[in-house]
Amino acid sequence: MSSYKYEYLVTVPDHVDGGLQKRIDARPTHLKNLTPRVQSGQVVFGGAFLGSQPEEGARQIRSVMLIKANSEEEVRKIVEEDVYVQAGAWDLSKMTILPFKCAVRTPL
């Protein structure tokens, strides 16, 4: 298993026009491609911010993930290579990458 020095909290909004459908179409490939990073512990968690709770007809509006890496540049490369970018779902111009230190974690 690789050793990572830092953690980064990353958020990436969907493109306003057509981003949701592009996300839905690319999701199976996105999850398949992430599997090795999740299994190695590099991607700690990932998911979508919702515009409302699911029972209210929620719409996914932004992704959030916690990534372990040795630099911000490494994180940026991981995100830029994701199929959600290639499919046109994510708006990289509004991505945030924030240094993060998790104080508490609970298992699922």
The CA-to-CA distance between both ends of the chain, in Å, stands at 22
The pTM assigned to this predicted structure is 0.87
Q: pLDDT digits over 56-104, tens only? A: 666 788 999 999 999 999 999 999 999 999 999 999 999 999 999 988 8
Q: Is 21 left (phi over 0), alpha (psi -120 to 50) or beta?
A: alpha
Q: To 5 degrees, how large is the angle CA 84–CA 87–CA 91?
A: 60
Instruction: For the chain, give every domain's residue range.
Output: 6-100
**Residue 63 DSSP SS3:** strand
Domain 6-100 in CATH: superfamily?
Answer: Dimeric alpha+beta barrel (3.30.70.1060)
Q: How far apart are CA 32 and CA 6, in angstroms?
A: 24
- Tokens representing 60 are 């996914």
